[in-house]
Amino acid sequence: MNYLLTASGLRNDTLRDALREMLGKPFESANIVYIPTASVAEPGDHGWVVADINRLHRLGWREFDILELNGLPRQMVLDRLLRADVIYVGGGNHYHLARSITDNGLVDGFLEALESRVYVGVSAGSMIFSRHLTEHSAEVIGDTADLHVLGATTVQPPFGLFDWYLKPHLYSPDFPERVDAWADRIAARADFPLYFIDDDTALRVRDGEVDVLSEGRWRFHP
């Protein structure tokens, strides 16, 4: 399994080159499927989604598919995942994304697809693999409002593959509160390992081994 877990997509050459190396062939010879599901639970302007799609599309894929996880027959979703070489899951509300995977019975199919494909996550799409994606971590990190807006008080991690938790957008101008003091407060409360990454950083996970790729800044709290 190959994962490239970003905060804001393929924003620099380091991350684009990493995906190209993980894919093992040119982008123009590959199919990609873009999953916007997490974004639809976010209110307000969605220009950030459009910008991410445009940046990704400009890389010149053989086929660029867009797939919503809710409302389609399960087998149709799985068939389109299997058609792709790269499964790219965008940002938004990570709890909505997790529930969309579990409630639609997609967990096993996702894992099957990921055995031989490259997964790229953006923000919410990077957060859903931790076994600590629970109401407890929501309280520790301060994300309970994102859970409650869905009318929920609990969440089930769909995959539970990683023992650490990822929190994106460190030092981001779009999230001005996410500075060192904010990370320090969360780390002091957390009883699980935490990566904080900025918008120019990604975690690359191959065969369970994690390395950090960055043109920016990041922190790890074991």
pTM of the model: 0.96
When pLDDT is cut at 50, 70 and 90, the band that residue 135 belongs to is very high
The rounded distance, in Å, linking the Cα atoms of 214 and 216 is: 5
56-69 pLDDT, tens digit per residue, is 999 999 999 999 99
Structural domain boundaries of the chain? 2-221
Mean pLDDT of the chain: 97
* Residue that is written with structure tokens 């598919």 in the block: 65
Are the beta carbons of 113 and 145 closer than 8 angstroms? no
Residue 208, pLDDT above cutoff 90: no
Quick one: fold of 2-221?
Answer: Rossmann fold (3.40.50)
Distances (CA, A) of 57 to 25, 28, 117, 189, 213: 17, 11, 19, 40, 22
